Amino acid sequence: MTTPNDAQAPHLLVILDHHEAKVYRTEVRGAVPERIEPYDPHGFGRHLHSANEWTDGKSRPERKSFYEAIANTLRGAEQVLIFGSGTGKSSAMEVLLADLKEHHPDVAAKVIGSVVVDAHHTTEGQLLAKAREFYAEYNRG
C-alpha cells in the first residue's frame, strides 16, 4: 500500500561531517537514515580531513567516492537540506556543495539550504524537527 508521501519525490536531510553523512527522509516519521561513510582503504578511522587531502589540486579518491555516494543518494529528491558543522574550506558541507555544483548540477539545483549546526550536541529528533521547520517555512513562502 502506498501513501501520498510515497508517491512524491522525497524531501531529504543530509547531516554531514568529516566522518560520515546521514541521509533522512524528513517527511517520514521514524525514518532510519542511510549512512554513508568514506572509503577507508588505509584504516585512518574514516576521517576525511587530513594534511594530505589534496594532490595536484584534486581530492583524494576516497573523498571523491564519498561525495559521489552522497550525490547518488540525493538523486531523485524533490528538495535537499544540508546540515553540517564548521565553515570555510575545511567544512565537509562546503566541499559537498562545491562538488555538487561542479559535478552534479541537477542535484545541486535541489538543495534549498545549508545550515551550520552542532550535530554532536543536538539529538537526532531535534535535528529532524529543525529540518521539518525549515522545510515548512521554505515551502510556505
pLDDT of residue 141: 75
Report which residue type is found at 47.
H
Q: Give the mean model confidence (pLDDT) for residues 64-70.
A: 91
**pTM for the full model?**
0.78
- Asked whether 104 and 44 are in contact (CB, 8 A), the reply is no
Query: How does DSSP classify residue 64?
Result: H
**Helix, strand or coil for residue 14?**
strand
Work out the pLDDT band at 37, boundaries 50, 70, 90: confident
pLDDT of residue 14: 96
Q: Which of 63, 68, 79, 74 is nearest to 23 (CA)?
A: 74
Q: Give the mean model confidence (pLDDT) for residues 4-19.
A: 77
Q: Which three cell numbers stand for residue 122?
A: 543536538
Q: Which three cell numbers stand for residue 35?
A: 549512512
16: number of Cβ within 10 Å: 26
Question: What is the domain range of residue 17?
Answer: 4-140
Q: Give the mean model confidence (pLDDT) for residues 107-126.
A: 92
Could you tell me the CATH number of the domain that includes residue 10?
Answer: 3.30.420.60
pLDDT at 91 over 50: yes
Work out the pLDDT band at 85, boundaries 50, 70, 90: confident
Dist CA 102 CA 91 (whole Å): 17
**Beta-strand pair 58-59/54-55:** antiparallel
Number of independent structural domains in the chain: 1
